[in-house]
Every structure is written in C-alpha cells, then in structure tokens.
Amino acid sequence: MRIGIMLDYSGGFREGVDRVIELEKTGIDVVVVAEAYSYDAVSQLGYLAAKTCTVELASGVFPIYTRTPSLLAMTAAGLDFVSNGRFRLGIGTSGPQVIEGFHGVPFDAPLGRTREVVDICRQVWRRDRVTHSGKHYQVPLPADRGTGLGKALKIINHPVRERIPISIAALGPMNVELTAEIAEGWQPVFFYPEKARSVWGEALDAGLAKRNPELGPLDVMVGASLAIGDDVEDRLAWVKPQLALYIGGMGAKSRNFYHNLATRYGFGEIANRIQDLYLSGRKNEAIAAVPDELVRQVSLIGPRGFVAERVAAFAEAGVTTLLATPASTDRAESVHYVEELKSLLS
C-alpha cells in the first residue's frame, strides 16, 4: 500500500508546500492537491514540482466543467514536464454548488462528459490530431457551428509520457463503474471500508469486467484524517466540520451526493438531521450532530493498535493508496503521524 497526503485547499499555500518537502524526506509516495473555490491547484502543483524531487504529484481534483478537455490535457502535460514525469491527473465532476454557483457553468451530463474528456486527453498526450465527435464535445468544431476554419491539431510539444495516469473522483454507482472501466485510479471520499463492498462492489465489478488490461490494476486512492496516539481522541472533532459541510451543505436537499453516501452507509436519519441543521443556518449544531462512530470508521485516529486495525480494514477493502491528512497544526507532529503510519505498513 502506498502512502500519500492530501493538501487542504483552505490551508496556507507556502506552509503546505513546506510540509510536503518535510514529508518527502520520510518517503511518502504521492501528494494530492485539491481544487474547489480557493486558489487553483495548478499554481500549487507547479510550485511543488519545483520544490520536490521524488514524490508523485496529483490533482485531486480538477473539475471537468471548468477547463476544456484539451486544456486539461495541456495542463497535465505541462505539469508532467516540469515534474519530470511525476504528475497524475485527477479529475471529477465536483457538484452543482461549485460548478453552477461559483463558475456559472451548467452541471450536466457528468458521465458522458467524463468519458469524452478522458478520450480527448489521451489523444492529446499521444500527439494525435485531436478528432472527437461526441455528444458533449466536438473537436474540431463542425463548420455549421463555427467559422468553418477550424482544423484538427495536435499538441506542439512532445509530452514526457503519452499516457499520464488518470484518477477519477466518483461516488455514484454509474460513475464508479465508468471509473473502473476507463481510469488508472479511483478516488472515493469518506471511505468506510467495511461498507465499501455493499455500496460499490457491484459497480466496480461491472466496470472492471470492461476494463482494458493495458490500464493495469485499479489504484484505489482513499483519503483519511490521521492522528496516532493514546491522547488523540480530541482530533475526532477536527473531522466533523468537513463531514457536516459535505453531508449537510454540499448540494440541495434533494441532490447531495455525500448525504446519499452517508445514507447508504446506514446513517440516513443522522444525515437528514445534519442536513436540516446545516441548511437552516445552524452549522455548529450540524457539526455537533456528526457521530464519533462515523468519524472513526472513515479516519485513522486513535491509539497505534486501533489505527493498525483500521489500516488492515482499508487494505482488505482493496485500498492501494492511503492519502493521509494529519489532524495537526504542528509540522513536527504531522511528520510524526505519517512516520508512524509508514511503520505500520513496513
């Protein structure tokens, strides 16, 4: 199992990079930079590429609606170049709240767009002349929809690799099935290992049955808050604001992917209460309503023996990359937690 870290998009830009530099010395495998509606992830990934030497760099994730497919491919190729072949393209749909509320772009056809984006990106990296006639993207633009002067082009530069790994953030069954079919990696959120098979097993099996063997095994990249010790019980509370935000506030009452996931985990009544409180403006009460049990199951917080058991459960559920988020504001303590996690896997 590989170990990486997930950089919080609301954290300090330079402070996050300094922490990565320190953690790279411990031998972490990958760092994932999120992009929501803070600074763009490309800036920080480019900065990381200049400041690091060995760690893999990944976006986690670039929303597919905010860049054209060709621009996604160009950006990935550029980041792969400046990092000497260390970049992984993480993409996802995000959600209507961010895509429509912040970017002003319709959140439509997530499955169809994802498949077409992946196809176009891989054409670009192979230096093919990009030709794609899909439902959502047409490259070049047909004459009857443009000036008639557009022609098929290929990227000018020679990418470092003609196949940059793609990971897709997916939660719904159809999106997970698509991910297992076409992507090198899958990045679910709030992963509860004992429930994973019942929630996603059928979708994963269906996608893997159609998977091209050239893609290799599916890299299951799971994020989890991390604190190891006999006195870290208070760190459970650090995770609750994010869970409350996503379960309660990331989407409308009738369309919230994270609320649906919590419900599928068996926390339906609690998820409803969190959502009602959050949407009514009672955010602190929503945070308080998040149960310790849910936090424990989707995190790595507790004594060393307990965390070892949770790591084993994640491995048993098929996780191949653990993306830790140290529940600490102290750099030395964060590094210690990651070193402890690595020792559990050695």
pLDDT average, residue stretch 170-181:
97
Judged against a pLDDT cut of 90, whether residue 204 lies above it is answered with: yes
**Which pLDDT belongs to residue 93?**
94
Q: Which of 227, 288, 89, 259 is nearest to 169 (CA)?
A: 89
pLDDT value of position 326: 94
Quote the pLDDT of residue 292.
97
> Among candidates 299, 77, 64, which has minimal Cα distance to 179?
64
Is the pLDDT at 254 greater than 90, yes or no? no
- What predicted TM-score, i.e. pTM, was given to this entire model? 0.95
pLDDT reading at 9 higher than 80: no
How would residue 16 be classed by pLDDT, with cut points 50, 70 and 90? confident
The contacts of residue 95 (CB under 8 Å, 6+ apart) are 107, 250, 251, 257
DSSP string, 213-281: GGG-S-EEEEEEEEEESTT-GGGHHHHHHHHHIIIIISSBTTB-HHHHHHHHTT-HHHHHHHHHHHHTT
| Whether pLDDT at 255 is above 90 | no
**pLDDT in the model for residue 92:** 97
Confidence at 11, pLDDT banded by 50, 70, 90: low
Q: Phi and psi of 80, rounded to 5°? A: -65, -35
> Which residues fall within 8 angstroms of residue 252, CB to CB, at 6 or more apart?
96
How is residue 323 written in tokens? 């993306």
Phi/psi class of residue 108: alpha, beta or left (left: φ > 0; alpha: ψ in -120 to 50)?
beta
| Contact (Cβ atoms closer than 8 angstroms) between residue 57 and residue 89 | no
Phi, psi (degrees; rounded to nearest 5) at 324: -85, 145
Residue 13 has pLDDT above 80, yes or no: no
Amino acid identity of residue 204, one-letter, is L
Note whether 266 and 195 are within 8 A (CB).
yes
The pLDDT score that the predictor gives to residue 38 is 86
Q: What is the pLDDT of residues 138-165, one digit of tens each?
A: 999 998 888 989 999 999 999 999 999 9
CA 144 – CA 130 distance, rounded (Å)? 19
Amino acid 10: pLDDT = 64
Report the pLDDT value the prediction gives residue 270, as an integer from 0 to 100. 97
Where residue 252 falls among pLDDT bands split at 50, 70, 90?
Answer: confident
Report pLDDT for 306.
97
**Residue-level pLDDT at 148:** 86
Q: How far apart are CA 300 and CA 228, in angstroms?
A: 7
Residue 251 confidence (pLDDT): 79
State whether residue 253 is helix, strand or coil: coil
Q: What is the DSSP letter of 252?
A: B
Where is average pLDDT lowest: 5-19, 76-90, 92-106, 274-288? 5-19
Mind giving me the DSSP string for 85-120? S-EEEEEE---HHHHTTTS------HHHHHHHHHHH
Question: If 0-12 CB within 10 Å is exposed, 13-18 middle and 19+ buried, where does residue 218 land?
Answer: buried
Cis peptide before 140 (omega within 30 of 0): yes
Task: Write the DSSP symbol of residue 140.
Answer: S
Q: For 303-318, what is the mean pLDDT?
A: 98
Kindly list the structural domains of the chain, giving each domain's residue range(s) and its CATH number in brackets, ordered by start: 2-225+301-345 (3.20.20.30), 231-300 (no CATH)
Which residue(s) pair with 33 in the sheet? 7, 59
∠ Cα 289 290 294 (to 5°) = 150
Cis amide bond preceding 61, omega within 30: yes
pLDDT score at 346? 81
Q: How far apart are CA 77 and CA 344, in angstroms?
A: 35
Average pLDDT over residues 302-309: 98
